[in-house]
A and B are shown apart, each in its own frame.
Chain A
Amino acid sequence: MKTIVIDPVTRIEGHSKITISLNEEGKVDGAKIHVTQFRGFEKFCEGRMYSEMPALTARTCGICPVSHVIASTKAIDEILALTPPQAGINIRKIINLAQILQSHTLNFFHLSSPDFIYGFDAPKEDRNIFKMMQTHPQMARDGINLRAFGQKIIEELGGKRIHPTGVVPGGAAHKIELSQKEVILAQIPDMLKIAQGALEFFKTNLHKFQKEIDSFAAFPSLFMALTNKDKTLEHYEGTLCFMDSEGNIIKDAIEPGDYKEFIGEAVEEDSYLKSPYYKPLGYPQGMYRVGPLARLNIASTCGTPLADEELKKFKALNGGKPVLNSFYYHYARLIEIIYTIEKIEELLNDEETISENVKATSSVSKTKGVGCSEAPRGTLFHEYHVTKDGVITEVNLIIATGNNNLAMNAGVKQAALAFVDSENITDGALNRVEAVIRCFDPCLSCSTHALGILSSKIEIVDHNKKIVKVIDRS
């Protein structure tokens, strides 16, 4: 058996590689993604004080630290039996939405759009942001402005752009000043215009990618997301919902604290990324997807006018049934960008938001807390156990990207079967296999600088593990 290795996977966050196995006839018969970074947060947090957890776990990531801070503070709220005041909740929501906005923006404008502009078969020296800056400079500037908007909100309300300290147990550290509110609101029209323009660009070009739409992780699976009782799009509150590929709700109103009854965590020998699955269906049949695609499949409305208009069109893609093609993660991400801008405006205009009362205080009341929120890439869980003095004894984290692990693996296999010909391995085919993963926008970790020089090559290995071919992709 031969194996093709794509190492590292490019234009994603973190370190991973893909192996594609060929059978004795040289045909693709399997593919896997391996996450090659080890972090160990769950273990080294043991013995720390509960109050350190938001700052510690935020370091899991440099791109979505807000999600970790939100889930962490919600877990601690539970341990302290705290209900944050409405202003504190609204501030947390705004910061979370701003983070989703800037993260989705980075994926679309800077990581994925080169594929949409130049096509998956374009020479790799052209398929990057540098070429895009030359041919589509306004689009590149739009991406920078939209990201700056999200980052500025996080900095203003959270104290810092990366690893903010303004979200604390019990609510928020500071109230929103009127001047801060006005500065943010003044930018909303321009930001909406950019977001709508990006969505229009994407929809206009969709017809070029039918084969990719049909073979980039396009298959039935379950979907999971946080949702409200009325199935409005939600990123902060609510309960967990599982939907099947036909649109049937198979389990609803799961309290986040009960997640272990429904989510199992499998471990594969060749990857540091957990493989969560829906327990009642077992492993690996219980594969589910999370993130923008899942959230929009489960939501019946966004609750904001412009996003709702687009949601209707999105739902029409599969006749009202859940959209099963992971290529449409990009579509869902763009709708969520519009939603986050509208929702930030709505929350800022809520009079409660600028209240002085932003934080509640208490001491340890319970020895277990579970915090759950929707991160850019999907549902995030933080579970802490503490002594009565507040010392952490056990931690379990399910990172949003991990929920998609089984689906990403199934997706790379599907794309490899569709595009990789072992007799003629083209860069376009390998780019497509990588691009399946970029649909999910995995965030494997960016809390640290990468160490060392990354290799950028594909190895073809025969059944004796002998390298028979090396393709340099640097």
Chain B
Amino acid sequence: MRVIVGYGNELRGEDAFGVDVIKKLEKFHLKNTKLISAFQLTPEIVLELLEADEIIFIDACNNEKNHYALACSLSVQSRFNLSHHISPKTIVSMLENLYEKHPNFFIYSMMTDSFDNIKNENIYKMRIEQIVQHISSAQ
């Protein structure tokens, strides 16, 4: 099974990118795919990922120079951290170490520095569309 996790704060402009991608994907009724929308990543989300062969995290990534660039990178957002929310890599590490699950995982990010509003609605929607097309065509 493929699990797609889009996360972000819908009140914080382009931080909602991951959540907005999930909203769009819900209309496609993708086979063998589970969609999860979250405000932030928290430890117990691993329980919803136990059946996953492949996990795709979708998030907005803070970057001042390459606004609206799309990236599929494990390094940019893979910082191990632990506060009251955690990073994708921490989630994957939990799956591996605690549940002996070794899914493939990817992080699709849209670079942005606009966390107050959506700066350019047309480009923002285009980026959502591009990610949605990419995911739905990879069925």
Interface residues of A (CB under 8 A from B): 11-14, 59, 62-63, 106, 110-111, 128-130, 133-134, 137, 140-141, 143-145, 147-148, 151, 161-163, 443, 446-453
Contacts and interface: CB of A to CB of B under 8 A. Distances in A.
A62 B44 contact: no
B46 interface: yes
A140 B15 contact: no
11 contacts: A11-B83, A59-B11, A128-B82, A144-B46, A147-B44, A162-B39, A446-B84, A448-B9, A448-B15, A452-B62, A453-B79
Contact of B98 (A11, A133, A451): A133
Contacts of A144: 43-44, 46-47, 94, 98
A435 to B, nearest CB: 14
B35 to A, nearest CB: 16
A446 B84 CA distance: 7
B84 A451 contact: no
Nearest to A128: B82
B85 A446 contact: yes
Contacts of B93: 130, 133
A148 B49 CA distance: 13
B62 A163 contact: no
Given A133-B97, A140-B94, A452-B62, A148 B83 contact: no
Interface of B: 8-9, 11-12, 15, 38-40, 42-44, 46-47, 62, 79-80, 82-85, 90, 93-94, 97-99, 115
Contacts of B9: 447-449
A11 B82 contact: yes
Nearest to A12: B83
A445 to B, nearest CB: 9
A447 B11 CA distance: 10
A148 B47 contact: yes
Nearest to A107: B84
A62 B39 contact: yes
Nearest to A109: B43
Nearest to A152: B44
Contacts of A443: 84
Query: What 4 A-B pairs are tightest by C-beta distance, nearest first?
Result: A148-B44, A133-B97, A13-B84, A63-B84
- Chain A CB within 10 Å, residue with most, of B44, B46, B84, B97: B84
